[in-house]
Amino acid sequence: MPDTFETKKQEKTVVTDVPREAGVDLRLPAVVPAVPYPIETLVPQVNQQTPAVGQRVTRPDGRMHGLGQTKYIDDMSFPGMLHAKIKRAGIASARIVRIDTSAAEAMPGVMAVVTGRDIPVNSFGPSYQDQPVLADERVFHAGDGVAAVAALTEQIALDALEKVKVEYEPLPAVFDPVEALQESSHKVHGTDTNVYAKKTIRKGDVERGFAQADHVFENRFSTQMVEHVSLEPHAAIADWDANGRVTIWCTIGRITLARGDMARTLKHPMSRIRMVGTVVGGNFGGKNEITQEPVLALLSKKTGRPVKGVYSRGEEFTSTTTRHPIIMDYKTGVTKDGKIIARKVRLVLDGGAYCSWSETTLGKAAILSAGPYNIENLDVEAYVVYTNKTMTGAMRGFGAPQVCFAYESHMDDIAKALGIDPLEIRLRNAFGEGSASPTGQVLHSVVVKESLLKAAERFGWKEGRS
Amino acid sequence: MKRRGRGIACMWYPIGFTVAANPSAATVKVNEDGTATVLTGTVETGQGALTVLSQIAAEELGIAMDDIHIVSGDTDVAPMDTGAIASRTTYVTGNAIRLAAEKAKLILFDVAAPVLGVKPSQLEARDRKIQVKNYPQRCLGIGEVAHRAQVVMGEPAIGSASWNPPTVAMDPETGQGKPFSTYVYATQVAEVDVDDETGEVEVLRIVAAHDCGTAINPMLVEGQIEGGISMGIGFALQEEMLFDKDGRHVNPNLTNYIMPTSLDMPEIEVDIVPSFDPTGPFGAKGVGEPTAVPTAAAILNAVHDAVGVRITSLPATAEKVLAAIKAKREGATKKLTAV
């Protein structure tokens, strides 16, 4: 074994003197402060130990983060690189009558402009391909992109967006998921119904369960739309070379899927697409799909230069996926000693303008909605509907934090009404090894009771109030 | 005055995709000095996945974490991976890497066996050695074996493998089926102070007991739990995207979209529940997403315990909690719904 890490003390100084012209946009490669660091003291011995599993080893990337040396996309630059910006519709539902890009294209420093009509196949999505890369005929939510500009600087690109003239014909819209369920509501995608996916789970006979119950509890819970708010926004650089091979450095956490989406939208063979997933500054489910990457690729193809795009914080909110608001109706039948014998759940997920990861979220929310409890009679129906709002998609927990808020709030209400301790009522109902899940799956390595007892013990639950 | 309350919430959460195939593939190359390079198509998105995956490869090869270099996130060089989603990286990509490392290891065993005068099945890889089981003194350095494999035998120790969690499709009418290969479980207990004059909720302490199967790296598990709790607090009390009547987002900035900062973080106590899943790499499952799941429920149950109001719509902002307290004081008999 070479003793790589027993090297003598090394002093390394990072170059800080990056020349910068006055007035140039501050989005230059990050200037790293001089950090003379002795490498040997930074290598804890635990990383050298075997067996490796179970060790509290430090992350190699943690050292780079700590020293400010991680290269995120915004720290990367290539010779001749252009900066791209996307014009957002700002109107939630409309038909695009015309887009005039001539004034923008005539601006000095503007190198290329693309619109939705330039995208070879203008649709993508993991379940249904209902999302355009840039809106072409219709706008489905206010954060939709309608045109993109590549320019010498970010500021010129932003100025050029102002000169892109878009004429809209406003259309009716629907924003409330319950309203969207109604027959008379505006149909976001012109289909018969705004419901685009449904999930049902049925087990036993829920009505008989309610009839046998000593008490029946009902409540409605709802949650809001939230954003992932990763520290690093969505960012990418595309470089289309003279052989037609395009390389994309991107913040996407799923480059295999992203390459498939790029191949589809650009109508380009996979062998000519290289996706490089850089160190990502936070994902939480928000960076699982392509966003601006096909646009940057086309701008690079048009200009023959690398093109970088970095979303603003505003675009992070309005133009990327968010967490589903869910309206949750719970009805639960219990015996007088707190055993749940029947539960009926109705979920309505606000899917926003496009499907994205809604189908997955719907499935997980429906399956998990009964909680980690043995319930013989169960009836769950869950729907996800289109509205003219920012699309909802994957976010840490896929519907689980929403339904957990509902089933656990409901559980405490039941416990209080029956005069049972909240810990005790959970232990009475919780899954054990070999329990059957709501989908009839026999569960293994189940430790929900152990986790309840461990948390309660650590908290001092039984000792009473502090 | 400030009133103190406590609340408990437990949860279950699946690992991997719902029914749909979500495979990962990996390649492990043992270098001639006994260090190794791992190729994976997943991307490090800040959670420490590459560190955990390195530990899995190291464990299988009997070497240390620092002996592994991991190459990731490049479709030109790495095999496919369904990616950093659905809390699947440790479980699915981890299994693929473990299998790939095992294949490379079996080549080393084939090479070492005749030298040590035993059958390959009698060998194990531990502490940077290929050794005879139960006779650790009969051994060869892993570097020596890897060098011999490549330079003398012409059989470089390289393994590739893929893994996909087994599932069974759900019945469209009843939902019956096996949508996931495995699940994790967790409980969080929150202690809060609620100011009954302002409605403000302060989270004082959260105790979190999470199951992740074997904790490949307990420090990273703790990090995930602390991060998940911060998201859970924002979801419970502060964050909300608001739209005007025309569907335009009115708070698309961090001035008006309030999220927790380090000053809002409570004291967090983490327990890892002992558990072993035979289907995971070295018994591991996953921990990424579930950490954010029970936090809001525990906090809202603590608010109910403190001031006796049930907030049914999130986020439980100070205005909403105060309105509920006032309504309760006024002896309103109607059921409190969204305020």
Token pair belonging to B206: 């959260």
Name the percent of chain A in helix, strand, coil, to the closest 5: 30, 25, 50
Which H helix or E strand runs over A183? none
Question: How does pLDDT run along chain A (466 residues), one tens digit per residue?
Answer: 444 444 444 444 444 444 445 554 444 344 444 555 555 555 447 888 889 999 999 898 888 898 889 999 999 999 999 999 999 999 999 999 999 999 999 999 999 999 999 999 999 999 999 999 999 999 999 999 999 999 999 999 999 999 999 999 999 999 999 999 999 999 999 999 999 999 999 999 999 999 999 999 999 999 999 999 999 999 999 999 999 999 999 999 999 999 999 999 999 999 999 999 999 999 999 999 999 999 999 999 999 999 999 999 999 999 999 999 999 999 999 999 999 999 999 999 999 999 999 999 999 999 999 999 999 999 999 999 999 999 999 999 999 999 999 999 999 999 999 999 999 999 999 999 999 999 999 999 999 999 999 999 999 999 876 5
**Domain for residue A185, yes or no?**
yes
Closest chain A residue to B67 measured between Cα atoms? Answer: A48
pLDDT at A464: 76
Strands A82-88 and A307-310: what pairing?
A: parallel
| Out of A372, A412, A461, closest to residue B189 by CB | A461
How confident is the model over B180-197, as pLDDT tens digits?
Answer: 999 999 999 999 999 999
Q: How confident is the model at residue B337 (pLDDT cuts 50, 70, 90)?
A: low
- Chain B residues whose CB is inside 8 A of the A171 CB are none
> CB-based contact (8 Å) between B73 and chain A?
yes
Look up the ipTM and state it: 0.96
> CB-based contact (8 Å) between B266 and chain A?
no
How far apart CA A388 and CA A143 sit, in angstroms, is 10
How far apart CA A334 and CA A341 sit, in angstroms, is 6
pLDDT at A323: 98
- Listed by number, the residues of chain A in 49-88 with a beta carbon closer than 8 Å to a beta carbon of chain B are 49-62
Domains in chain B, start-ordered, CATH in brackets? 2-13+180-329 (3.30.365.10), 18-162 (3.30.365.10)
Q: Which residue has the higher pLDDT, B20 or A4?
A: B20
> CB-based contact (8 Å) between A286 and chain B?
no
With beta carbons less than 8 A apart as the criterion, state whether B114 and B124 touch. Answer: no
List helix spans (H) across A177-305: 177-181, 206-212, 255-266, 293-303
- Give the CA distances from residue A441 to residues A355, B116, B134, B181, B182, in Å, rounded to whole numbers and listed in that order: 28, 47, 40, 9, 10
The four Cα atoms A420, A421, A423, A426 give a dihedral, to 10 degrees, of: 10
CATH of the domain at A353: 3.30.365.10
Say which DSSP state B254 is in. T
DSSP, collapsed to helix, strand or coil, labels residue A385 as strand
pLDDT at A63: 85
Token pair belonging to A348: 């309505």
With beta carbons less than 8 A apart as the criterion, state whether B44 and B50 touch. Answer: yes
- Listed by number, the residues of chain A in 218-277 with a beta carbon closer than 8 Å to a beta carbon of chain B are 219-227, 229, 252-257, 259, 273-277
**Domain for residue A384, yes or no?**
yes
How far apart CA A155 and CA A17 sit, in angstroms, is 24
How far apart CA B318 and CA A182 sit, in angstroms, is 33
Q: How many interchain CB pairs under 8 A, A with B?
A: 400
With beta carbons less than 8 A apart as the criterion, state whether A422 and B153 touch. Answer: no
How confident is the model over B160-183, as pLDDT tens digits?
Answer: 999 999 999 999 999 999 999 999
Handedness of CA A19, A160, A228, B22 (dihedral sign): negative
Q: What angle do CA A45, A48, A54 make, to 5 degrees?
A: 95
How far apart CA A283 and CA B224 sit, in angstroms, is 13
**Domain for residue A297, yes or no?**
no
Domain count, chain A: 1
Q: What is the pTM of this model?
A: 0.93
Q: In A89-234, at which residue ranges do the beta strands (DSSP E only) sit?
A: 94-100, 110-115, 138-139, 145-151, 165-170, 195-203, 215-222
How far apart CA B329 and CA B326 sit, in angstroms, is 5
With beta carbons less than 8 A apart as the criterion, state whether A138 and A81 touch. Answer: no
Say which DSSP state B286 is in. -
Q: In A357-458, at which residue ranges do the beta strands (DSSP E only) sit?
A: 377-385
Contact at CB, B65 and A465, closer than 8 angstroms? no
Which H helix or E strand runs over A426? helix A422-429
- Give the side-chain half-sphere CA count within 13 A for B15: 31
**Domain for residue A133, yes or no?**
no
pLDDT at B166: 97
Range of the domain at A379: 178-224+321-459
| Out of B19, B128, B289, closest to residue A397 by CB | B289
pLDDT at A48: 85
With beta carbons less than 8 A apart as the criterion, state whether B249 and B321 touch. Answer: no
- The burial of A21, by beta-carbon neighbours within 10 Å (0-12 exposed, 13-18 middle, 19 or more buried), is given as exposed
**Domain for residue A275, yes or no?**
no
User: Which single residue is written with the structure tokens 């996800």?
Assistant: A384
Mean pLDDT of B265-288: 97
Query: Residue A99's CB: how many other CB atoms inside 10 A?
Result: 20
Closest chain A residue to B84 measured between Cα atoms? Answer: A253
> CB-based contact (8 Å) between B172 and chain A?
yes
With beta carbons less than 8 A apart as the criterion, state whether A451 and B209 touch. Answer: yes
With beta carbons less than 8 A apart as the criterion, state whether B190 and A462 touch. Answer: no
How far apart CA A346 and CA A319 sit, in angstroms, is 29
pLDDT at A5: 44
With beta carbons less than 8 A apart as the criterion, state whether B28 and B97 touch. Answer: yes
Closest chain A residue to B317 measured between Cα atoms? Answer: A224
> CB-based contact (8 Å) between B24 and chain A?
no
What's the length of chain B? 339
CA of B244 vs chain A CAs: smallest distance (Å): 10
With beta carbons less than 8 A apart as the criterion, state whether A103 and A169 touch. Answer: no
**Domain for residue A293, yes or no?**
no
Rg over alpha carbons for chain A, rounded to the nearest Å, is: 27
CA of A19 vs chain B CAs: smallest distance (Å): 31
**Domain for residue A438, yes or no?**
yes
Query: Residue B226's CB: how many other CB atoms inside 10 A?
Result: 15
- Chain B residues whose CB is inside 8 A of the A282 CB are 45-46
How confident is the model over B212-242, as pLDDT tens digits?
Answer: 999 999 999 999 999 999 999 999 999 999 9
**Domain for residue A265, yes or no?**
no
Contact at CB, B75 and A276, closer than 8 angstroms? yes
| Residue A68 C-alpha from the chain's centroid | 26
| Out of B9, B34, B243, closest to residue A404 by CB | B9
Q: In the beta sheet, which residues pair with residue A381?
A: A200, A346
> CB-based contact (8 Å) between A440 and chain B?
yes
With beta carbons less than 8 A apart as the criterion, state whether A97 and A167 touch. Answer: yes
pLDDT at A4: 45
Q: In the beta sheet, which residues pair with residue A357?
A: none
- Chain A residues whose CB is inside 8 A of the B82 CB are 254, 256-257
Contact at CB, B43 and A277, closer than 8 angstroms? yes
